[in-house]
Each structure stands twice: as C-alpha cells, then as structure tokens.
Amino acid sequence: MNKAEILIIDDEPQIRKLLEITLESNDYKVWQAATGKEGIIMAANHPPELILLDIGLPDKSGHDVLKELRTWYAKSIIMLSVQNSEADIVKALDNGATDYLSKPFRSAELLARIRSAIRRNQSQSIETKMVCGDLEIDIPARTVKKGGELLKLTSTEFNLLALLSINEGRVLTHQYILKQIWGMGAQSETQYLRVFIRTLRKKIETNSDKPEHIHTESGVGYRFV
Amino acid sequence: MNKAEILIIDDEPQIRKLLEITLESNDYKVWQAATGKEGIIMAANHPPELILLDIGLPDKSGHDVLKELRTWYAKSIIMLSVQNSEADIVKALDNGATDYLSKPFRSAELLARIRSAIRRNQSQSIETKMVCGDLEIDIPARTVKKGGELLKLTSTEFNLLALLSINEGRVLTHQYILKQIWGMGAQSETQYLRVFIRTLRKKIETNSDKPEHIHTESGVGYRFV
DNA sequence: TCTGAAATAATAAAGAAATAATAAAGAATC
DNA sequence: GATTCTTTATTATTTCTTTATTATTTCAGA
C-alpha cells in the first residue's frame, strides 16, 4: 500500500521537524512548506491526502490560506494554532477546516486526529451509493430513486444533491455550495441556490412544505439529513 | 505519582497559612511568595503547575504580575480577590487569568477550581466534538444534540454555545463574549447577551429555571459546565 | 445574621431587519 | 422546440434588536 501523503504548512522549523519525525515514523510521507504561498503551490502541484496548516503564518494568515485552498481542495485540512486563541477555532471551522489542534500537542492525539481525518477522506469516495430513508442516491451512475422509482434531475440539481448528501449531517454554507457547484465567480449568488433548492425539494421531498431531507439553516446554509 | 506544585503569591501570612494547610492536606506541594516580585522569580526558577495570585499585593498590583507572568507562563493562574471587586475580576479574566476566587472562600470550592484548572493544563488541545452530560456539540458539523435528538439553534445561538463550550469550566466575561460574537462595537450591549443566553438555556437546559450547563456569575459573566 | 436599597439578571413580547421561499418570465443551451 | 438556467419581483418566515417589566443577587448598615 502507498504511504498517505501529508503536507505541513508552518513557518517554525522546529515544529516542522517535530511533525516530520512523528509522522514519518508512523508511515506517512511528509511534504513541507514554510509559507502560505509556498504551501498553496505545493498542494496544487501535488495534492496530498491531508494538510496540516498553521494559523499564524508570516506571509498571510492561515485563515486566508484555508479559504484559498478550499476553493478547490476538498480533502482534510487540520488547523494548528497556539494556545488561548479559541476565537480562531470557530472561524477556521466555519471556513471549512476539518479539525483543529492547539500547540503544543501530544503526538498520540495528533496521530488519532490524522487517522480520523484521512478516514473521512476515504469514506467520501467509497460511499457512493447511499440510502437515506426513501431516497437512494447512486453517485457514479448519477441516478436518484425515491420509493424505488427513478427521479429525473437536471445535471446541476444532481450535483447539488450529491454534494449535500456526501456531507450528510453537516451544514454546508451558501458560499461553499456555490463555489463547489457554480465555481468561484458565483459565491454571492445566493438566489441561484434558493431556486435550485426549491426545485430539488419539489422532486425529492414527499411534502416540500415540510422538508425532511434538505434543512435550511438560516443565515448559514443547508444541511442534508 | 508526583505531587502537583502550586505557587501562592499573597502578602497576608494568615491567608498563605490557610491555603498551605488546605492544599498540603490534599496532596499538593506548596510554594509561597509574599510579594509580586518574589513570586515572579519563584515561578521563573521553578514553574509550578498552577499559580494562586492575590490581586491586592503591596509592591505591585496583581494585575501587573499577571501580565508579566502571561508573557511566558501558559499554565493556569487563579486570581484571589476580596469581595466586591467585580471590576478587578473582569480585568483579570480579560488579561488571561484562568479563574478567580473571592475571599473568604470555602475550601471545597477552592479545591474544585484547582482540580479543574490543573485538568485543563493537561488537555491542551481543544475538542471539536464534545459531550457534556446529555449534550453533544459538534462544531465542524454545527450540530447540537440533547439526549440524542438534534436541536435547532440559530447561527448566533450556535456561535455562542460553541464559544462557551470550548471554554468549558472557565468564566467568560460579558465583554469578552460580546466582542467575540458580535464584534468590537457591541461590547456594552449586555442585554443582547442576556436575551441570547435565555433562548439558549430554553433550548439546551432540561429545566431552564435551574440551568445546569450555563451558569451565571453575577457581575462578571457566564461559565459553561 | 438580618433587612432593604441598589445593582444586576431574567423574562416576555413586539417591532424591525435580514433571510428564505416561491412564482413566473425571459435567456441560453441542447 | 423543449429543457434547463438565470433573473426579477413578491410574499413569507426567521432571526435580531429593542423596550418594558419582573425577579434575583449583592452589599451596606443595623
């Protein structure tokens, strides 16, 4: 089996060294970047299985790097920060971080979180066929069945449903959904999204006035259940 | 197992004596300093697991000692204050104190606070998914479950609960919470906070008249337990 | 340690603002 | 030409903010 590749983006050499030793001795392949810019380039050239990203970078804040990465990088990103910056956590997680770890950290905990994050990457690609109540979604075949009967969805509708269902249970922000489905330019076109959510609900919900699958989180986004 | 070491910085000999007796009989190793200056030197030479710091010191104010310690000392600092000094307490918490106790204090409460503070030293990383009694808070997914059932919180309610729960056991001052959730401009809008605490309690507490999770610290702030 | 005034907190409720749902018509695409 | 997408306008809903009232806590003085 191939070693899973992990990219470390952190400006402190001793932290990078510590992470490198810990990770390589646990059979990961490690890549390193000292600045946000460098990290983004490395991730683009050679997308790793997981990124460890420090919040306090010299060139640009880790939050900005996170946002930039999240425009195209879908796998796990674990944020690292110094102690006592709880306010950063909610922000980072809102911007799409997978998890969060405060420095200094115990290596057992680091490894546990990395395993969990990588497992999540994989489950994303494995569970391509899912059953949610009366709904059956088959992503490779691009089909959706409700109560055994095939539904007719447009391409965009299907992409939207697939995105939501892969992230079952978690809230996806409007921004994130728009970026994923319509690309960078559409991030503020919330109205698009509403219209498509409407047509989707009409098709997949038994009663579209009382949606069971697609829940609205006012001010934030939508959640598939 | 080693005894945890606690440094007391207080000018009143009878208080030091009382603390010494209480703590040593509970299996802590106690160090003592009568002035701020002395305390800083002792802490530097031999960093303890926890510092108990009196706000009213003769040579320099406890606030200054706190600030100086916080430039390098990351572990817990519990402030001791006389009664009727909310302003001091708020100031101390905003300067990075872990907790506070008003003199005279009951020894059971002292010991409970010390245990909680020392526990926090040890688990330095912040959990993004936490279980508190019947509550389950998952920050990345933005979900809260009570007794296994999903609760419906608004965006602001969730942010508030996330902030409180990340700082479990600590008192967060009104000012701090307002700044974190509503931004700089809202620091004096204490009434906002009360209204949101109210709606949160209604949703997460079994009996909102007797809140188990969100405790009020009158004149100071709130504490999540 | 009790008591009452003052400060602080909790609560309810209504009005304002922000956000979301919906319908429907015009553009673009296949 | 039918389907799908985008835009606009309107209505509905949710959330936030403010105000007023009541309850609780704190603390000084007896």
Q: Burial, A58: exposed, middle or buried (Cβ in 10 Å; 0-12, 13-18, 19+)?
A: exposed
pTM of the predicted protein model: 0.78
DSSP code at position B225? -
Read off the pLDDT band of A127 (50, 70, 90).
low
Read off the pLDDT band of A28 (50, 70, 90).
very high
Q: What is the mean pLDDT of chain A?
A: 86
Q: What's the CA gap between B155 and B50, in Å, rounded? A: 36
What average pLDDT does range A110-139 have in this prediction?
80
- The winner for highest mean pLDDT among A32-41, A57-66, A67-76 is A32-41
Q: What percent of chain A has pLDDT over 90?
A: 40
Q: What's the CA gap between B165 and B172, in Å, rounded? A: 11
Ranges in chain B, pLDDT < 50: none
What average pLDDT does range A192-220 have in this prediction?
93
The answer to whether A218 CB is within 7 Å of strand C is yes
What pLDDT is attached to residue A131?
86
Q: Which residue has the tokens 């207080």?
A: B10
The answer to whether A215 CB is within 7 Å of strand C is no
Q: Which residue has the higher pLDDT, A79 or A103?
A: A79
Read off the pLDDT band of A50 (50, 70, 90).
very high
What pLDDT is attached to residue A153?
94
Bases on strand D under 7 Å from any protein CB: 3-9, 14-20, 25-28
For chain A residues 172-201, those near strand C by a CB cutoff of 7 A are 174, 190-191, 194-195, 197-198, 201
Q: What's the CA gap between A80 and A103, in Å, rounded? A: 7
| Segment holding B28, helix H or strand E | strand B28-33
Interface test with B, best of A76, A85, A89 (most B CBs within 10 A): A89
Q: What's the CA gap between A161 and A156, in Å, rounded? A: 9
Interface test with A, best of B66, B75, B77, B124 (most A CBs within 10 A): B124
Bases on strand C under 7 Å from any protein CB: 7-13, 18-24
Q: Which residue has the higher pLDDT, A198 or B208?
A: A198
What pLDDT is attached to residue A124?
59
For chain B residues 3-62, those near strand C by a CB cutoff of 7 A are none
Model pLDDT for residues A160-197, shown as the tens digit of each residue: 999 999 888 889 989 889 988 888 777 778 899 999 99
What pLDDT is attached to residue A209?
83
Q: Is the pLDDT of residue A155 over 70?
A: yes
Contact B170, B92 (CB under 8 A): no
Chain A: residue nearest B183 by CA?
A87
A169: nearest CB among B124, B128, B143: B143
- Lowest-confidence segment of A12-26, A110-124, B21-35, B38-52 by average pLDDT: A110-124
Q: Which residue has the higher pLDDT, A106 or B82?
A: B82
Tell me, in Å, how far CA of A183 is from C1' of C23? 27
- In order of A4, A79, B193, the CA distances from A85 in angstroms are 30, 12, 21
Q: Is the pLDDT of residue A70 over 90?
A: no
Nucleotide nearest to B222 (CA to C1'): C9
Inter-chain touch A218–B155, beta carbons under 8 Å:
yes
Q: Where do the domains of chain B lie, and which CATH numbers do they carry?
A: 4-122 (3.40.50.2300), 129-224 (1.10.10.10)
